[in-house]
Structure 1
Amino acid sequence: MSERIMSGARTVVARALPGPWGRAVVLREGLAALLVGLVSGGLGAVGPAGPVPFAVIGLGAAVLFLLRRGLPGLALVGAAIGGGTLGSWLPLLMITSWSAGRRITRARDAVAVFLGSFVLMTAVSLLTDLDEMPLPALLGVGVGGFLLLAVLPAVFGRYRAQRRTLLIALQERNDQLLRERAMIARQARLRERHRIAQDMHDSLGHQLALISVHTGALEVDRTLTEGQREAVTVLRQAAVGAMRELRGVVGLLRDESTGDPQEAGGVGEIERLTGASRAAGTEVTLTRTGEVRELTPATGHAAYRIVQEALTNAHKHAPGAPIGVALRYEPDALLVEVVNGAGTPTTAAAVSGGQGLTGLRERTRLLGGMLHAGPAPDGGYRLAGVLPYDGSGSPVTDDDPDLPAAPAERLPKRRPALGCAVVVAGVLLSVLGLLLWGGVKFFESLDRATLPDTRFESFRIGQAETEIRDQLPPGSNLMTSSYRDAGPAAPAGTACAWFMSDHQPDQLASTKVSRLCFRDGVLVEKVHYRADD
């Protein structure tokens, strides 16, 4: 039973004081609650009230301030009840109204909470101020004050909350659109890679297989000389190597996330490339300098392609020239350099597609590197590439031409700024109307409480009360209540009426008051006196 009670208590506390309560939040909320309590208690206990009202008022304000996050409706109702009789709680009313406007999301609940707060605040004001202020004036002041101190902060709080929610939703939608665009672009690239891989497998694979079969048959032909047989063997090995590379490239195209650098052609395969060139009768040297680093499959494959393209161009354009291949492991990048000397001029036209160097430049650019190709000082040719170790391909960006166009943004149908502006305009117009109405009522009360001096002088001691009452204005307790105890003591057993004179002194801090006292149905005293405001 005790465990159930403890569990329920923890649930109530978690609901009233929602977390998380980190050190910064505890410090911020504690200092703010202390400040609100001190201000509310200090302003509410002005005068001879003593320390007990100060502590009660301040503690109540601090508690309601802390409850504004978990129980915004309850905090607003409590602040409204206190604000109806304590002027020191009006700042707390504004704070709780702001919090309620932010946290009460359902319109029906918000209307019910604010309407109930207004009714309770007005009822408390009527019970405490009815003797000093007429009912219409009290209602007008209550409506105007509640609109300014409660509704207006709530509207601003609701606007801020809706704007934040809208911005978060737009950010999440934008992130989702970017992810979807990246996914669509990746799928489009994968489909194109699969298509290219299939075409390469079906066309080049077939041709290379035929070359391998025919060269294998020539190897066992007894009519060939030993030199011819060695040349055929080199051709067959080249065809087999080309088929192995083709399988690696096809596999890499089919799955861009995986790929064996040995199968797709990596740094480890450069030794085989140079060996094949030596077997063909070309002088090729391979040197490695620096600390060997592990490369990504894309970087290793790019290095392999640079060496392969350079060796192919050297064999075509400078047959018989010596070739130097260098792999230099620099601190931040791999330098691949191939230099061939000037070869023997040939009259045979070399077969060239003209796209090798273009493809290499694009490959190195996507890896974040660069490629240099040009004549060497000794008349030969130099091809060099710089490949960063962390090169992993170009990321998908918003300006990627492969990406589909983003859909046109639709403006949200709900516009919180417009709705809040309408409510604020309505509140301000209502307050302006109440101020005008209050001004009219004030002058009406002033007229009701003013007795002309000529009429006051016309009254005679001993004149019947009914006759005098018929000539008196209705009077106003609001305008004369503070002046009743300022003049001379009224005769015992009399009923008096107080009015303001229509001829007031020049001093702004003084008011001329007219008093008529009746006993047994006749006028027994009439007196003028000045009351200091």
Structure 2
Amino acid sequence: MDATARVRAGWDWLKGPEPWTRRMLAGDLALATVAAVLGLGVEELDRGSGARMLASAVLVVALTLLRRRLPAATLVAGSALSAVLPGALLVTGLLGWSAGRRIEGVGRALAAFSLACVAAVGLGVVSESEMRPLLVIVFTTLLFIVTTVMPGLASRYWSQRRTLLRALQERNAQLMRERAMIAGQARLLERQRIAQDMHDSLGHQLALISVHTGALEVDPKLTDRQREAVGVLRQASVAAMHELREVVGILRDGVAAPVPVEEAAQPAARGVAGIAGVVESARGAGTPVGLATTGQPRPLVAACDHAAYRIVQEALTNAYKHAPGAAIAVELRYEDDSLVVEIANGPAAGPGAGEVVSGGQGLTGLRERARLVGGMVHAGPTEDGGFRVAGVLPYGAEPAGVEDAADDFGQRLRPHVLDGAPPMDWAAVDRELTVPSRSRAGGVAMGCGIAFAAGVLLLVALGVAIALMVGSFKDGMIDREEYDAVRIGTAEQEVRDRLPSGDSVLTSGLDRKGPTRPAGSECLAFLAADGPSDLGKDLVFRFCFADGKLVDKQAYEVKQ
């Protein structure tokens, strides 16, 4: 394996199972840089050496880049190193956030955080020799909870919430698809029922009309004019039967029913090509109808072609019923992007034939038919008292107005919402989100119990810390009378018995800030209980011992 392949393999290992984009890499490097710079400031305040500063910065960058691939290991390592290298303390929050999000299973996460806490506390006790071990344990534990555990809990909650929302989103989409399928099946069954009813009722009646008109047409008692009118009725009934067969086929199977070969040439085409036949039939019935075509004819898709035919047919029917004897003008205009079908009639030439039977749904059906193919229909009266119907139909199929179904969350179901997302592992989601309880009430009770126990433990820890702090303050402070009562040359054990232990965070390093200590001596420093009036300074009492007796005592002020 050459060097390039090894580098690529190492890079793939470092990325881990998550996709690591350039943006994410840049973000991780930025976080590592900020944490390293702030860590150098912490090391400078702690008077760390140059080698320790360099090691702290390198470790911060390495832990930040490895946290995606090894969340548990980096959490333990970072917590342990933060006890030795103060500059690595700031990266523990980032490691806790990453571990809380990426460690699968509550047991594994609890084990990783517990091991990290033990490592931080153990190394803190070993590395800190100037404080009491119990005080180090309390402070280190509280610091670990604040800087590591709390970011981990917040990250785990955020990650579980995001997983839950995504699972609900996908399950909602699945339910919406299933509901659409059920609705489609219900519509199909209803269409089949309607088709059967139409075939059984209308088909029978049209067949009787066709038979009776056919027999009446050959009656020798009829005049030529009457026989021609009966022939028109028979052709209309035959055409109605063909259209009924087509509609029944569409309702039942979703496709038009096949027309028999012997009947294929009889009915007019149900498209723009059939408009001339409809106009010619109207003229044969005695209605003055004119047909005009402008523009370059262009082919239309089947749905638009059929919609144009239906618009002309319905408009002519309305003109027959509501304006008998009026002249009708039919115009087809081929525009650049659409076909305009316009039918206009003048006012009625005379009184109507009485009450007109109308369902009132013709124009509504035309508008819906045009909308489904991306067009529109306008109908209204004209200035001269007539009526005008105009339809605009696109040449291509452009379904419009079909809105996405609203889901149960008040949102729209869009197929592209989850495009590109990996498939959901429902078993893993169930394991992650399942509450180990028998009932919802039990889960709530368990959660409340855990929260209460955690609150109690935190209050106990705070109480212990406050008590230790108060005791530490007492061990690190004396008044002026105690200082003056101690004489140089007194035995060391006698002096230590009279004074507090001095083991306090308040006195850490104070013995090295005053005057030069006697050679070979060991010093004990205290803060004055009644310090100077200057709030920026502290009064220190120092006692130095050598050869088992007090050899020097000093009182001096130091800056806080």
How many residues are treated as equivalent by the alignment? 512
Q: Could you tell me which residue of structure 2 aligns to residue 515 of structure 1?
A: 543
Deviation of 1:344 (Å)? 5.5
1:63-78 alignment, distance < 5 Å: 63-78=62-77
Letter in 2 for 1:10: A
Letter in 1 for 2:310: R
Matched, 1:306 2:311: yes
In structure 1, C-alpha distance between the alignment counterparts of 2:268 and 2:226, rounded to whole Å: 30
Q: Could you tell me which residue of structure 2 aligns to residue 530 of structure 1?
A: 556
Deviation of 1:139 (Å)? 0.8
Secondary structure of the residue aligned to 2:130 is: coil
TM-score (normalizing by structure 2): 0.76
**Native 8 Å contact 2:376 2:392 kept in 1:** yes
Secondary structure of the residue aligned to 1:21 is: coil
Q: Structure 1 residues 472, 323: CA separation in 2 closer, same or farther (over 3 Å shift)?
A: closer
Deviation of 1:260 (Å)? 9.7
In structure 1, C-alpha distance between the alignment counterparts of 2:332 and 2:392, rounded to whole Å: 11
Letter in 2 for 1:128: S
Of residues 417, 433, 442, the one that matches 2:469 is: 442
Letter in 1 for 2:378: L
Secondary structure of the residue aligned to 2:90 is: helix
Q: Structure 1 residues 530, 202: CA separation in 2 closer, same or farther (over 3 Å shift)?
A: same
**Native 8 Å contact 1:252 1:264 kept in 2:** no
Of residues 160, 173, 176, the one that matches 1:175 is: 173
**Native 8 Å contact 2:308 2:341 kept in 1:** yes
Letter in 2 for 1:191: L
Q: 142-151 vs 168-177, which deviates more?
A: 168-177
**Native 8 Å contact 1:318 1:344 kept in 2:** yes
Q: Could you tell me which residue of structure 2 aligns to residue 250 of structure 1?
A: 248
Q: Structure 1 residues 526, 188: CA separation in 2 closer, same or farther (over 3 Å shift)?
A: same
Q: Could you tell me which residue of structure 1 aligns to residue 510 of structure 2?
A: 483
Deviation of 1:92 (Å)? 0.7
Q: Could you tell me which residue of structure 2 aligns to residue 275 of structure 1?
A: 280
**Native 8 Å contact 2:475 2:504 kept in 1:** no
**Native 8 Å contact 1:245 1:265 kept in 2:** no
1:204-243 alignment, distance < 5 Å: 204-221=202-219, 224-243=222-241
**Native 8 Å contact 2:543 2:550 kept in 1:** no
Q: Deviations over 1:105-132 (max 9, x none)?
A: 4111111010000000111111111x21
Matched, 1:325 2:324: no
Q: Deviations over 1:204-245 (max 9, x none)?
A: 222222333333444555555544443333333222221221
In structure 2, C-alpha distance between the alignment counterparts of 1:509 and 1:257, rounded to whole Å: 96
Matched, 1:86 2:76: no
Secondary structure of the residue aligned to 2:545 is: strand
Deviation of 1:161 (Å)? 1.5
Secondary structure of the residue aligned to 1:352 is: coil
In structure 2, C-alpha distance between the alignment counterparts of 1:384 and 1:235, rounded to whole Å: 26
Letter in 2 for 1:369: M
Matched, 1:135 2:133: yes
In structure 2, C-alpha distance between the alignment counterparts of 1:322 and 1:524, rounded to whole Å: 132
Deviation of 1:133 (Å)? 0.9
Of residues 371, 378, 401, the one that matches 1:371 is: 378
Secondary structure of the residue aligned to 2:155 is: helix
In structure 2, C-alpha distance between the alignment counterparts of 1:96 and 1:532, rounded to whole Å: 38
Q: Could you tell me which residue of structure 2 aligns to residue 187 of structure 1?
A: 185
Q: Structure 1 residues 57, 318: CA separation in 2 closer, same or farther (over 3 Å shift)?
A: closer
In structure 1, C-alpha distance between the alignment counterparts of 2:106 and 2:251, rounded to whole Å: 57
In structure 2, C-alpha distance between the alignment counterparts of 1:173 and 1:328, rounded to whole Å: 50
Secondary structure of the residue aligned to 1:328 is: strand
Secondary structure of the residue aligned to 2:160 is: helix
Q: Deviations over 1:162-192 (max 9, x none)?
A: 2222332333344344434443443333333
Secondary structure of the residue aligned to 1:288 is: strand
In structure 1, C-alpha distance between the alignment counterparts of 2:491 and 2:22, rounded to whole Å: 78
Q: Could you tell me which residue of structure 1 aligns to residue 421 of structure 2?
A: none
Letter in 2 for 1:441: L
**Native 8 Å contact 2:329 2:345 kept in 1:** yes
Q: Structure 1 residues 84, 239: CA separation in 2 closer, same or farther (over 3 Å shift)?
A: same
**Native 8 Å contact 1:144 1:430 kept in 2:** no
Q: 280-289 vs 468-477, which deviates more?
A: 468-477
Secondary structure of the residue aligned to 1:69 is: coil
**Native 8 Å contact 2:523 2:542 kept in 1:** no
Letter in 1 for 2:276: E
**Native 8 Å contact 1:42 1:54 kept in 2:** no
Q: Structure 1 residues 14, 191: CA separation in 2 closer, same or farther (over 3 Å shift)?
A: same
Deviation of 1:372 (Å)? 1.3
In structure 2, C-alpha distance between the alignment counterparts of 1:195 and 1:338, rounded to whole Å: 35
Q: Could you tell me which residue of structure 2 aligns to residue 406 of structure 1?
A: none
Q: 460-469 vs 147-156, which deviates more?
A: 460-469
In structure 1, C-alpha distance between the alignment counterparts of 2:211 and 2:25, rounded to whole Å: 82
Secondary structure of the residue aligned to 2:69 is: coil
In structure 2, C-alpha distance between the alignment counterparts of 1:84 and 1:292, rounded to whole Å: 85
In structure 2, C-alpha distance between the alignment counterparts of 1:318 and 1:48, rounded to whole Å: 103
Q: Could you tell me which residue of structure 1 aligns to residue 416 of structure 2?
A: none
Q: Could you tell me which residue of structure 1 aligns to residue 61 of structure 2?
A: 62
Q: Could you tell me which residue of structure 2 aligns to residue 113 of structure 1?
A: 112
Q: Could you tell me which residue of structure 1 aligns to residue 25 of structure 2?
A: 26
In structure 2, C-alpha distance between the alignment counterparts of 1:506 and 1:345, rounded to whole Å: 117
Q: 17-26 vs 465-474, which deviates more?
A: 465-474
Q: Structure 1 residues 371, 200: CA separation in 2 closer, same or farther (over 3 Å shift)?
A: farther
**Structure 1, unaligned runs of 5 or more:** 401-411
Name the Cα RMSD after superposition: 4.2
**Native 8 Å contact 1:98 1:153 kept in 2:** yes
In structure 2, C-alpha distance between the alignment counterparts of 1:489 and 1:157, rounded to whole Å: 52
Deviation of 1:154 (Å)? 1.2
Q: 81-90 vs 449-458, which deviates more?
A: 449-458
Q: Structure 1 residues 305, 271: CA separation in 2 closer, same or farther (over 3 Å shift)?
A: same
Secondary structure of the residue aligned to 1:484 is: helix
Secondary structure of the residue aligned to 1:512 is: strand
Matched, 1:335 2:337: no
In structure 1, C-alpha distance between the alignment counterparts of 2:350 and 2:136, rounded to whole Å: 112
**Native 8 Å contact 1:41 1:56 kept in 2:** no
TM-score (normalizing by structure 1): 0.80
In structure 2, C-alpha distance between the alignment counterparts of 1:237 and 1:65, rounded to whole Å: 86
Secondary structure of the residue aligned to 2:314 is: helix
**Native 8 Å contact 2:14 2:66 kept in 1:** no
Deviation of 1:364 (Å)? 5.3
Q: Deviations over 1:433-452 (max 9, x none)?
A: 54553343233223234455
**Structure 2, unaligned runs of 5 or more:** 260-266, 408-432
Q: Could you tell me which residue of structure 2 aligns to residue 407 of structure 1?
A: none
